Amino acid sequence: MANAVTDNTARQRFELVEDGLTAFANYRRSGANLVIPHVESPPPLRGKGTAARLMEGVVALARANGDTITPLCSYARAWFLRHPEQGDVLSGDAASGTVRAGRMFNNN
């Protein structure tokens, strides 16, 4: 059974434990919007899909709670570009030209 992504509200981050190591996505909450400034996976977990599974869990939790996401972290932005089907949880600012335009934020 896959490990579940958990919301560690005390540390303001989502966590996924695999092989005894914790990958995480820091967040700041602004109402119903989650701003994701940083996603990190420990070196032994890199290249194994851990960060992608973390993002899938973050999106699932956001969707279940009616939250939106503003991905500031380059990994999180790139993940959304690779998964445009998950764009429904992007905040209005993040989604305003993002996946449709093939880039994360307009530079205008």
Token readout for 89 is: 């949880």
Query: Hey, what are 16's tokens?
Result: 């996924």
pLDDT tens digit at each of 108 positions of the chain: 367 999 999 999 999 999 999 999 999 999 999 999 999 999 999 999 999 999 999 999 999 999 999 999 999 999 999 999 999 999 987 776 554 334 444 443
Which tokens go with 31? 């109402």
CATH number for the domain running over 6-101 = 3.40.630.30
Tokens of 34: 């989650």
Would you mind telling me the total number of residues written for the chain in this entry?
108
Interatomic CA distance for residues 79 and 68, integer angstroms: 15
Task: Identify the pLDDT of residue 73.
Answer: 96
**pLDDT (0 to 100) of residue 5:** 98
The pLDDT value given to residue 96:
63
Q: What's the whole-model pTM score? A: 0.85
Q: Which pLDDT value is given to residue 16?
A: 98
